[in-house]
Amino acid sequence: MPAAGDAAALPRARPGAPGRRGLWTDAWRRFARNPVRIGAAATALLIVALSLLAPLIAPARYDVVNIAEPLAPPSPRHWLGTDAIGRDVLSRLLYGGRTSLEVALTVVGLGVVVGVPLGTLAGFAGGWVDYVIMRLVEVSTALPGLLLAMLVISVLGSGVGNVILALALAAWIEPCRLMRAQTLALRDREFVEAAWAQGATTGHLIGRHILPNALGPLIVVVTLNIPRMIFSEASLSFLGLGINDPLPSWGKMVSESVSYLEVSPMLGIAPTLMIAVAVLSLTLVGDGLRDALDPSKDQGL
Amino acid sequence: MTGRYLLGRVAGLGIVVVVVSILAFALMHAVPGGPFDETQMPLPPAAKANILHKYALDKPLWVQYVNYVGHALRGDFGIPYQSPTETVLGLIARVWPVTLLLGGIVVAISFTCGLGLGILAAVRHNTWLDTLLTALASLGMTVPNFIIAIWLILILSVRLHWLPTGGWGQARLLIMPVIAYSLQPLAIVARYTRVAVLEVLSSDYVRTARAKGLSPARVVARHVLRNACIPIVTLLGPMIPDLFTGSIFIEFTFRIPGLGKFFVSSIFERDYPMIMATILLVAVLWSLTYLLSDLLYVVIDPRVRVGARGR
Amino acid sequence: MVARRYALLALVVILGVALGGHALGATMNAVGKPLPEDAAPPDQQVITGLTQPATTLDFFVGVYKRPQNIDGNSWSDILSTPLVRLDKNFDLVPGAAKSWDVSKDGMTWTFHLDRSQVWSDGTPVTADDFVSTFRLGADPKYAWDFAWFFGAIKGWDDAVKGTIPVNQIGVQRGADQYTLVVTTKTPAPYLPGMMLYSPPLNARALAKSGPFYNNDPKTSVSSGPYVLQEWTKDQRIVLVANPKYVGVKPYIQKVVLKFADLKTEFQAYVANEVDVAGNFSPADLQVIQFSPALKTQYHQGFGDFRTHYLGFDTMNPPFNNLKVRQAFSHSIDREGLIKGVIKQQGIAAYGFLMPGFPGSHQDDLKSIQSYDPAMAKQLLAEAGFPGGKGFPKLELWLRNERALGQAVGNAIAAMLSQNLGIQVDVSNRETKLFMDTLNSHKLQFYMVSYGMDYLDPSNMLGIWISGGRHAWKNDQFDQLTTTASSLIGDPQKRTAMFHDAEKVLVSDVGLIPIYFATPGFMWKPYLKGDALTADKIGVVAWHWPGWDGLSTLHESVYVTKDVSKFPRQ
């Protein structure tokens, strides 16, 4: 008999309407109700689209140099001005989005794909499985990414793929620990026991009870790690361990803009704003997703 | 949480330290280059051989490792190439307190303000205040601290002449580094807190408590914080050792003689004793942090059984 | 009447005392040096600067670990006096050695030391100090990081290898304890210039406290213009004028060096926290340009005659083909680079020796690697890659460049793409990864720089002799350079041979020179002195190597009363 304190779990165990399709259409309706969320989703999609379509819509290629026009302020020809060797900032911003999003989303995605199952396994199985996985986590945390990146680049060379490799080696840690904590917290609750007694499979337990609870913090981890990865890639590239010039990325553009802060602030403002807007819209979308997938969360206190 | 479990965890710490030391040793020697400089001209083979011999780098790797472990067990972690007039332990003992002080202040500020703002945003969920705070937190998370640092120097030092550009030793020299260093952690803490609190706020037992007539503040204090704490502890725990090991950007830009810069400079200088020391320090710190957070889980929610076998 | 006479007398006496006293009792600083009329009071004769983290002040302890900043501004070697020093005209002037002469065969140099020199512990500076210092540098057990430098000295290389004992190298005491005899392997007319790098260590302190005796005021011993007062690790070094110094005592009686990352040097300068600054970012330069006050404080100099150039692996395809290298050499618009990117930080380079450096004859070389895109395309086609087709994708490696270097590298890559149709990526590598690959001759295409060590073509051109750091070999060049380096008795022929050698280097495209650095340096208007006035060709600079034991800069610079106009924080 579930205790009153565990009643929290019960509403989630029941879909809002008969059949799975009903859950999603309900979720969509809830999501669409909030104009801020819609705006955020639209912005996120716009940024992704702009980045993907960069070769088609950018005024120039990202590597077109014009040393006669360095550090030009915004003008009709160059909407965001030019950088130190006359490259169009707007074009580099659009192309940069491709690189940054590619690296950040891949790394974070890999981190989730590897970390979530590992963490759930660790929390669910406990015992020596948990022990081994956690020791693996601790070893991975201690090894410095800089050193790993230097090894990767001296052996494999530079390039987007190698940057992703160097960064992904640590990206799985946070999702893993988060899922483990959530699993541990819920594993031995009575409602889980009850469902187990009723013959629910492990998959059902994880999918219905544990994952939805972890979704919120997981989304925050994802939205936090995206800018982190953007800047990790930038610092690696800054040290010659990442992506070669002239291929731009938002993080690289921000790092390079530091030397020109006082005279061409646009060089730094443009990519920083892009990153901030991208992160903000992804954050709001993520929040909205989490809210939408759980109907009991519409109100605050 | 049995004594046997704790023993197992302490043994785990030892295992991790050993594994990390082996991997770190192999990794740092696998990277090309060495502690010698060849910026102008390459060293003739004889000169290079002399240097390698002096640092005992010409022995086989496993011999070097065994020597290192032997010395380390006696408390001798070697002499840093970057500072040959002191020992590794002496160097760390000298610079770490500086970083700890700065880190401690940053932890205090970012955690208290972040927790407060996060709870506020969660409690005012779906209002303009929530969206504004979320937007500000996103900005705080994405603007890198070295950019904030440089802007602070440009405005407060160069233009307004209110503060010196950097240095260590006076309280007012802490102002700019603390601001630049805490904005990002503050934003992160606020975000995680908000989401964790939200997870719990609208759950039934909270609604039950409200229905019973408890004030919002008491509900928050008694139920929400307790249950939201687990993900908070999981994700924010590691931020603390992170802040306590310092940021090279902040320390370099503000001329702070702390430990942060050595994590990067040791690698670039191929300062092998310091590389090992910094990596081992991180390993121990993080393992302890994870252990502490596991213990905290049980304190927060006694239903959690860490270490017990599950399904 | 009597009263008035007494009053007049009193007036005369008072005036006399005032004037006479003023002339007699000119203010003196802490080491007894009379200060000029317009000088600030002695306690304000302080100079403050920033420096990169350093492990030692001494050349023979660790060359690359001294407070020696990029662009060649150094604060090192100030605790002893080398045999010779450089003045603002880049001329050698006597230092610890009052005079020197050379034997007829050009291989034995005798340095006559200044007998009045003493260490701060009271003992005299003798040839033995120099002998033991050089022996330390060659000692295999000591494993000095600059051991390649003195290969010209007889027996040096063998001592480093360990095949002869260090006491047999060609640096010995001469007829008495104030005579130093240096013997070279082959005639080396440039040896006095090389002896710029001879600041001695104190043998007794070395034996007692080890090579880092100058890191602690308690064990530090100085025979130079300053002594160590304080060394707070990772924070600051404080030097004060040495009362026992027998050379030209400095006006500046205190030097404060703060350890820092030099990116914020300009900001610290504007905030009046330091008196000098270099290391300007492009933004800093722009701010200086548009500020009338700052602009007058900015001075461009020669630095260390640093040449920035592109290099190749000429042993392997595609750069083993001369036509390919020639095509590349005609594709770089140096003038455009200077105008658009480098601006006042450099001048176009068509040869390896910078105008102003002995033996430089750039005008004769300008046409060899001229900017000619049409010819470049034709040459590339002749080499088998018409329009760049079939040419492998290139990665131009930079050595840990800051903003300017990265901009130049990217601009060059773009020029090559545009003019030759070749794809060039740019990778700004970490220093040791770069040098490791370069020195093992595996680096295909790179941009790097070299700054002189001493003022003689044998130094700059010598690095191109095969077997060094470059994957390029040209027997004619090797022969010309090696012969000219040891040629004595015919300076004109020597210079002509160096000219020819440089021409071979440029014609065979062993390198593509891009620009000679003309680093800018700023010092506050209240710093004055003869060293800060124009040199013999009219250049005003904080001349290389800076406030350093190897230069004479510290002999004439002082702080004027204007310092009160620049309040500190």
The β-bridge partners of C173 are C180
Under-50 pLDDT residues of chain C: 21, 23
CA distance A263 to C283: 5
pLDDT category, A300, cuts 50, 70, 90? very low
Given CB atoms, is C258 within the 8 Å cutoff of chain B? yes
Min Cα–Cα distance to chain B from C515, Å: 18
Interchain pair C410, A245: CB under 8 A = yes
* Lowest-confidence pick of A224-233, B122-131, B222-231: B222-231
Given CB atoms, is A127 within the 8 Å cutoff of chain B? yes
What would the two tokens of residue B278 be? 């910094």
The helix (H) or strand (E) run that includes residue B116 is helix B88-123
Nearest to A256 by CA among C412, B255, C404: C404
Which of C339, C341, C343 is most worth mutating to test chain A (most A CB atoms within 10 A of its CB)? Answer: C341
Nearest to B145 by CA among B269, B285, B242: B242
pLDDT category, A10, cuts 50, 70, 90? very low
CA distance A84 to C408: 9
CA-based nearest residue in chain C for residue A253: C403
- Of C417, C425, C434, which is closest to A245 when you measure between CB atoms? C425
pLDDT category, B238, cuts 50, 70, 90? confident
Given CB atoms, is A144 within the 8 Å cutoff of chain B? yes
pLDDT, residue C316, reads 93
pLDDT mean over B42-61 = 89
pLDDT, residue C17, reads 57
pLDDT, residue C469, reads 87
The answer for B 151-190 residues in CB contact with C (under 8 A) is 153-154, 157-158, 161, 163-168
pLDDT category, A8, cuts 50, 70, 90? very low
Interchain pair B230, A181: CB under 8 A = yes
- Of B38, B41, B153, which is closest to C267 when you measure between CB atoms? B153
Asked if residue A191 has pLDDT above 70, the reply is no
pLDDT, residue A12, reads 42
pLDDT mean over B276-302 = 88
Asked if residue B207 has pLDDT above 80, the reply is no
- Chain A residues in contact with B212 by the CB 8 A cut-off are none
CA distance C327 to A204: 68
For residue range A78-123, list pLDDT tens digits in order: 889 898 889 999 999 999 999 999 999 999 999 999 999 999 888 8
pLDDT category, A3, cuts 50, 70, 90? very low
Min Cα–Cα distance to chain C from A58, Å: 18
- Of B28, B31, B141, which is closest to A224 when you measure between CB atoms? B141
Longest dimension (CA), chain C: 110
pLDDT category, A35, cuts 50, 70, 90? confident
Strands C394-399 and C445-450: parallel
pLDDT, residue C158, reads 94
pLDDT, residue C335, reads 95
What would the two tokens of residue C424 be? 């060039």
What SS3 state is found at C32?
Answer: coil
Helix, strand and coil content of chain A, in percent to the nearest 5, comes to 75, 0, 25
% of chain B residues with pLDDT over 90: 39
pLDDT, residue C25, reads 57
| List of chains touching B (3+ CB pairs within 8 A) | A, C
Interchain pair B30, A134: CB under 8 A = no
Q: Angle CA(A268)–CA(A269)–CA(A270) in degrees, nearest 5?
A: 95
Mean pLDDT, chain B, whole residue set:
86
- Chain B residues in contact with A137 by the CB 8 A cut-off are 290
Interchain pair B301, A185: CB under 8 A = yes
pLDDT category, A243, cuts 50, 70, 90? confident
Residue that the structure tokens 């290079």 belong to: B48
* Lowest-confidence pick of A47-51, B304-308, C128-132, C521-525: B304-308
Output b/e per residue, C316-349; b: 16+ Cβ within 10 A: eebbebebbbbbbbbbbbbebbbebbbeebbbbb
Asked if residue A18 has pLDDT above 50, the reply is no
Asked if residue B181 has pLDDT above 50, the reply is yes
Cβ pair B82, B262 in contact under 8 A? yes
- Of A142, A185, A298, which is closest to B283 when you measure between CB atoms? A142
Given CB atoms, is C140 within the 8 Å cutoff of chain B? yes
% of chain A residues with pLDDT over 90: 15
CA distance B299 to C513: 68
**In C57-185, alpha helices (H):** 127-138, 156-161
- Chain A residues in contact with B147 by the CB 8 A cut-off are 254, 258, 261, 268, 272
Min Cα–Cα distance to chain C from A269, Å: 15
**Four-residue CA torsion sign, B62, B67, B72, B76:** negative
CA distance B184 to B38: 39
- Chain A residues in contact with B201 by the CB 8 A cut-off are 297, 300-301
Number of other CB atoms surrounding residue C566 within 10 Å:
11
What SS3 state is found at A218?
Answer: helix
Exposure of B13 by Cβ count < 10 A (0-12 exposed, 13-18 middle, 19+ buried)?
A: middle
Amino acid at C288: I
pLDDT mean over B8-34 = 92
- Of B32, B191, B199, which is closest to A213 when you measure between CB atoms? B199
CA distance B80 to B92: 10
Q: Angle CA(C121)–CA(C127)–CA(C131) in degrees, nearest 5?
A: 105
Residues in CB range of C345: below 8 A, 6 or more apart: C285, C404, C517, C518, C519, C520
CA distance C524 to C404: 25
pLDDT, residue A89, reads 93
Residue B216, phi then psi, degrees to nearest 5:
-55, -40
Min Cα–Cα distance to chain A from B247, Å: 13
pLDDT mean over A139-165 = 86
pTM of the predicted model over 0.95: no
For residue range B263-282, list pLDDT tens digits in order: 988 999 999 999 999 999 99
Instruction: Give, in order, the Cα–Cα distances in Å from A107 to each of A88, A172, B216, B258, C300.
Output: 28, 9, 40, 31, 47
